[in-house]
Copies of this chain bind each other. A is one copy, B any other.
Amino acid sequence: MRMTKQRKAIIDLFGQNDNQALNADMIHNMLGNEEMNLSTVYRNMDKLTELGLVQRIIINTVAYYCLANSTHRHFMLCTNCKKLIPIHCFLKKMLPALEEENDFSITSHDMTILGLCHTCKNIAG
């Protein structure tokens, strides 16, 4: 894979934002359209995901991304304020049993929890 200025910009962006999960539109807006076209964002996120450098999370039919170099994570989405709270993955240990029971070879998994965060559950009661 060639290290273009666009790819560097994406990776830097996650570094600068504490590896917060971002969707294609957010990445495009944060970098600016002059820096990178939206279709380039999609193409790069696809490639980086394929290579395992990025983790792809689907939330409510939209794809979010974060660097995968840190530990594999999942997220809890607050349906009120839309904040994503990262949680560590507690599924890995259960996958081998699933593979065996179903004779299935697992390549990846995705989990998202929806609910109300600390702040919103008190306000929105």
Q: How far is the CB of A19 from chain B (nearest CB, A)?
A: 18
| A46-77 interface bits toward B, Cβ cutoff 8 Å, 1 = contact, 0 = none | 00000000000011111100000000000010
Instruction: Check A39 for interface membership: any CB of B closer than 8 A.
Output: no
CA distance A12 to B85 in the complex (A): 39
Cβ-defined contact, A114 with B118, below 8 A: no
Q: List the one stretch of A2-10, A27-35, A99-107 in contact with chain B.
A: A99-107
The quantity of this chain's copies bound in the complex is 2
Cβ-defined contact, B104 with A108, below 8 A: no
Cβ-defined contact, B109 with A113, below 8 A: yes
In the complex, the chain B residue whose C-beta lies closest to that of A86 is B102
Q: A61-B63, A111-B109 are in contact. Are A102 and B87 (CB under 8 A)?
A: yes
Q: A58-B60, A109-B114 are in contact. Are A104 and B85 (CB under 8 A)?
A: yes
Instruction: Check A82 for interface membership: any CB of B closer than 8 A.
Output: no
* Known contacts A58-B59, A104-B113, A110-B111, then 16 further A-B pairs from the complex at CB < 8 Å, ordered by chain A residue: A58-B58, A85-B102, A87-B102, A95-B113, A98-B113, A103-B117, A103-B121, A104-B115, A104-B117, A106-B114, A106-B115, A107-B116, A109-B113, A109-B114, A110-B114, A111-B111
